[in-house]
Amino acid sequence: MNFICNFPFFSILISLFSGTICSVLPAKAAKVVNRVVIAAVGVMSLILLLYLLSTGESFVYWMGHFPAPWGNEIRAGVLEAGMALFFCIIMYLSMAGGAHKLYGEVVESKHNLYYILVNLLLSSLLALVYTNDMFTAYVFVEINTISACGLIMIRQVGRTIEAAVRYMIMSLLGSGLLLFGLCIMYDLTGHLLMSNMKESVSLLMASGEYQIPLIVSVALMCVGLCIKSALFPFHAWLPDAYGYSTASSAAILSSLVSKGYIFLLIKIIYRVIGFDIFNSTRIIDVLFVFGLMGMIFGSISAIRENDIRRMIAFSSVAQIGYIYMGFGMGTQAGMVASIFHILSHAATKSLLFIAAIGLTDVSGGSRKFVDLTGAAYRNKWAGAAFMAGSLSMVGVPLFSGFISKLLFSQAAVQVEGKMLASLIVLGISTVLNAIYFMKTVIRIYTPARESGYSIVTFKDMKSYGIVLICFIVLNVILGVSSQPIVDMIEQGLAMFA
Amino acid sequence: MGPNLLANYGEAVSAILFCIGFTNLLLQTNLIKKIIGLNVMDSAIYLFLAEKGYIAGRVAPIVVNGVTSTEAYINPIPSGLVLTGIVVSVSVTALMLSLTIRLYTRYHTLDLDEISAQLKKEGK
Amino acid sequence: MSKKRPAAEYQKTFAFRFFRWLSGAKDPYLGEVEMQPQEEYVPDPEAALRHEKEHDAILDKVYDPERNMEMKLFRKLYHATSILFCLFLIALLLVTISWLPAIGTVERPVNNEVAGRYIENGLEETGAVNIVAGMILDYRAFDTLGESHVLFVATITVLILLRLNKTEKNEAEVNDRRFEPKNDAILQLAATFLVPIIIIFGIYIILNGHLGPGGGFSGGAVIGAGLVLYLNAFGFQKTERFFTEKTYKWICFFSLSFYCLAKSYSFYTGANQLHSVIPKGTPGAILSSGLILPLNIAVGLVVACTIYAFYAMFRKGGF
């Protein structure tokens, strides 16, 4: 076996172990460890991705001395390695971009605990991406939930703690349903490894045995993961959690945590149930309808919002609706569009959150739109970055959001019966997006009369400026050279089957 | 209805308990009652798993007198899953309780809606 | 001996004027300084009404189920849909269960070659008499590694929420001394007997984890309960002699590091088909079954400390 095949295992273990190490380190050293680990995992994922692209085959890696149905496994393909790489990039940039806010918002003595949480969150995301075992996935889903809750309430104001409680309640409902579905699935197949489960499921489907429990267990798992990833009717906790937590947390939560659950759902669809069987159930129609509703209602709530951070949070609800709409189409093209939108939304939303703190900082810390008037002149880089993010969200060419909308419309055209609905809602949602994002952009570029707020230049916060530039570049790369990425996603999905 | 409802009465009980816990977690406004609901829900799942492993007339999977035949012992996998699940639910309960303590010392109430109301009145 | 002054003379002294000023009998400025006559306060009924209206409007807007009709309706709807949803869920699960394979029988998909190999070869391949311990710590060890980190991350979040800094700590200490019972003779006598027994029993459960029912988590929980009982009987001053936050930190660090590194070694050798140097030992002996015993001890230490830490945090926000 090639040495590179160890890299998925190394990346999970390094990030898990670094969490333990950070518990005895002072805050500064913990910060260095955190950055180094994220960078190291990113480099390993990049090498792994290149290796997988050259061999063109996925591989499984035994976690222990025992082969498939007995031991525990992880599995790496192009999609997994690419996702891990992308998660590392976003996480590094979010941590670097929000680092200066941490000193004001989190008690100094609890900084090293923050880095522990981030390390463990990274390890759980990697485990969700790479795992080939359903029960392992459940355990790491719990690590992901608890550390995400920690990220929300580490800034201790009343709102965040209440948001953390609401987040935990919704997440626990989701985990309960996921575990119950998993148990039923285990009862029917007798396996916990995804590949063996899939074999048994296709045999059961062919023989027509246990149809009802099978569908119910799939539905329970889907609903559980939808609740956890804040699909439309289950999003009540989201605005407070994203709107009031510290900036790095908000960026990581919106762009990575919910995406980890969605990626697990994709894995379940492809590697446990089988794409064709999943599409023959009515579940995709439900996902489709809730996705569409999320797109509309999320945007309407965002328009009514008077607080820039909460507005961005509500926009996340709409964007998650897009992703589930792609699942609901039930075609390969819809799935590719959804996965591209995961990348595009992660890159854009973290950019928006990081840019928003630059704008609020030069407006006396207020997030109200009245006070933000002219903020883009006081902090030019944050203003430009916010505009870039908004343009991407609205779907202007050259930015990543345009490509995902294009892919969604292309996919919609191929689906009979769902074409009209998805195209109309895509159009309405784009207009609504434009209303609230352009409203904000116009507001921050309206010259203010005497404001008395300080002006921040690039020299004052170099690292923050560089992070913003990296984010914009990432967005433009996704928007301009989308074809290789789409090809990679298709190759990865082919490896899944 | 399928043929096995009566044979699976243990699982039916666990399903009803699961739904009771689920309702409590969803409906109660008192945080402590919510946590109780959470624990009922988790325990119901462990009961469900324990039922899965059971085979009539066989003993717990601890090798006695060197007998290692599948005929002698029940299925060990669900027991292992329950062990893992219990640790997870202990951790989650501790986290929820400490969140509750934090909110109580701040707002002097356990009612989540009342806490929301107070937060909105603070206007922050 | 001082002589008594006449009243008229006394009234001229500084002391008399000072005490009169102190007691507020006379305003020293009244009549001495030019003053603006103050208007009498006349309550403006219109302004009061407006203020009341604004107050009402605020109450209606904010979350107050007594006054806000929209909220009231939403609450009722929420309850009704929740109940309907739960009834639906019960019905759905019952129907599902009625179609599941009957429990207690052998002919089920669950009793396949996976469980078969765990039972038949478990003793030989893991060296553990307790097949469940062999399964969770050897065949499916990655889950268990994740599980111990769930506990770890939960303690971290509890620390974030409840750990107090230095100044708050003193106040908490005072509160704790006041509200918690201490020096209770019955409790102390009982604890003197029970604590050693409980802790020894916990150690037995941990060390016996690969030979019979037991293991790191259950044993650790028993030891933790013993520590909590000791703390309740003798108070924080006694426990601080051997258990502080530092002890907790380092025990957790070493146990989890050992766990991570040992399992990494075993995963790495397993995946790369290398020979593992860890001996299996004779099944049934106390020193057997490879890594399972040391892992159980590590988990036991972590869990015991964590249980104690949870209790200390809940009680006063520190050790």
pLDDT in tens, A334-390: 999 999 999 999 999 999 999 998 888 888 878 888 888 888 888 888 899 999 999
- Give the H or E element holding residue A101: helix A78-105
Query: Tell me, what's the pLDDT at C227?
Result: 93
Residues A197, C273: Cα–Cα separation, whole Å: 25
The torsion angles phi and psi of A59, rounded to 5 degrees, stand at -140, 155
Q: Within this chain, do residues C190 and C297 fall inside the same structural domain, yes or no?
A: yes
Q: Within this chain, do residues C146 and C90 fall inside the same structural domain, yes or no?
A: no
Interface of A with B in 129-188 (CB under 8 A): 135, 139, 142, 146, 149, 153, 156-159, 161-162, 164-166, 168-169, 172-173, 176, 179-180, 183, 186-187
Q: Within this chain, do residues C294 and C171 fall inside the same structural domain, yes or no?
A: yes
Q: Within this chain, do residues C60 and C180 fall inside the same structural domain, yes or no?
A: no
Query: Tell me, what's the pLDDT at B34?
Result: 92
Q: Does B105 touch chain C (CB under 8 A)?
A: no
Structural domain harbouring C90: 45-99
All residues of chain A having their beta carbon less than 8 Å from the beta carbon of residue B101 are none
Does C296 map to a domain?
yes
Q: Is A135's CB within 8 Å of B48's CB?
A: no
- Facing residue for B84 by CB, picked from C82, C118, C143: C143
Residues A329, A340: Cα–Cα separation, whole Å: 15
Structure tokens belonging to residue A69: 């149905």
Residues of chain C with pLDDT under 50: none
**Could you give the 3-state DSSP secondary structure of residue A368?**
strand
Query: Tell me, what's the pLDDT at C58?
Result: 67
Instruction: Report the predicted TM-score, pTM, of the whole model to 2 decimal places.
Output: 0.89
Q: Is C96's CB within 8 Å of A216's CB?
A: yes
The total number of structural domains in chain C stands at 2
**C63 C-beta neighbours (distance < 10 Å), count:** 17
All residues of chain B having their beta carbon less than 8 Å from the beta carbon of residue A156 are 102
**A205 C-beta neighbours (distance < 10 Å), count:** 17
Domains of chain B, by residue range, sit at: 9-122
| Average per-residue pLDDT for chain A | 89
The one-letter amino acid at C80:
A
Interface test with B, best of A135, A165, A309 (most B CBs within 10 A): A165
Q: Within this chain, do residues C95 and C133 fall inside the same structural domain, yes or no?
A: no
The β-bridge relationship of strands A59-63 and A72-76 is antiparallel
How many residues are recorded in chain A? 497
Per-residue buried b or exposed e for B43-79, using 16+ beta carbons within 10 Å of the residue's own CB: bbbbbbbbbbbebeebeebbbeeeeeebeebbbbbbb
Could you read off the pLDDT of A243-292 as tens digits, one per residue? 888 888 999 998 899 999 999 999 999 989 888 888 888 889 999 999 99
Q: Is A187's CB within 8 Å of C267's CB?
A: no
Nearest chain B residue to C154, by CA: B91
Residues β-bridged to residue B111: B30
Q: Does B70 touch chain C (CB under 8 A)?
A: yes
CA distance A6 to chain C (A): 8
Is domain B9-122 annotated with CATH 1.10.287.3510? yes
User: How is residue C86 annotated by DSSP?
Assistant: H
Residues A100, A89: Cα–Cα separation, whole Å: 19
- Give the H or E element holding residue A494: helix A482-496
Burial class (CB in 10 A: 0-12, 13-18, 19+), B14: buried
All residues of chain C having their beta carbon less than 8 Å from the beta carbon of residue A9 are 267-268, 271
Q: Which of the pair, A1 or C186, is modelled with greater confidence? A: C186
Mean pLDDT of all residues in A297-323: 91
Does C20 map to a domain?
no
* Interface pTM, i.e. ipTM: 0.95
Degrees to nearest 5, angle at CA C128 with C127 and C132: 140
Structure tokens belonging to residue A408: 């969604």
Q: Within this chain, do residues C227 and C310 fall inside the same structural domain, yes or no?
A: yes
Degrees to nearest 5, angle at CA C220 with A147 and C193: 140
CB B64 within 8 A of CB C130: no
Q: Is a pLDDT exceeding 70 seen at residue A37?
A: yes
Going through A150-269 in order, the beta strands assigned E by DSSP cover none
Q: Does B10 touch chain C (CB under 8 A)?
A: yes
Say which range, A40-44, A120-124, C129-133, C261-265, has the weakest mean pLDDT: C129-133
Q: Which of A121, A102, A120 is nearest to A111 (CA)?
A: A102
**C67 C-beta neighbours (distance < 10 Å), count:** 13
Q: Within this chain, do residues C175 and C284 fall inside the same structural domain, yes or no?
A: yes
Does A338 map to a domain?
yes
Q: Within this chain, do residues C158 and C54 fall inside the same structural domain, yes or no?
A: no
Angle, helices A462-480 vs A400-414, to 10°: value is: 30
Does A159 map to a domain?
no
DSSP letter for each residue of C162-212: H---HHHHHHHHHHHHHHS----HHHHHHHHHHHHHHHHHHHHHHHTTTTS
Q: Is a pLDDT exceeding 90 seen at residue A320?
A: yes
Does A423 map to a domain?
yes
Q: Within this chain, do residues C144 and C284 fall inside the same structural domain, yes or no?
A: yes
User: Which chains, if any, share at least 3 CB pairs under 8 A with chain B?
Assistant: A, C
Structural domain harbouring A475: 282-497
The total number of structural domains in chain A stands at 1
Nearest chain C residue to B64, by CA: C129
Q: Which of B83, B10, A199 is nearest to C148 (CA)?
A: B83
Residues C292, C298: Cα–Cα separation, whole Å: 10
Say which range, A91-95, A431-435, C99-103, C235-239, has the weakest mean pLDDT: C235-239
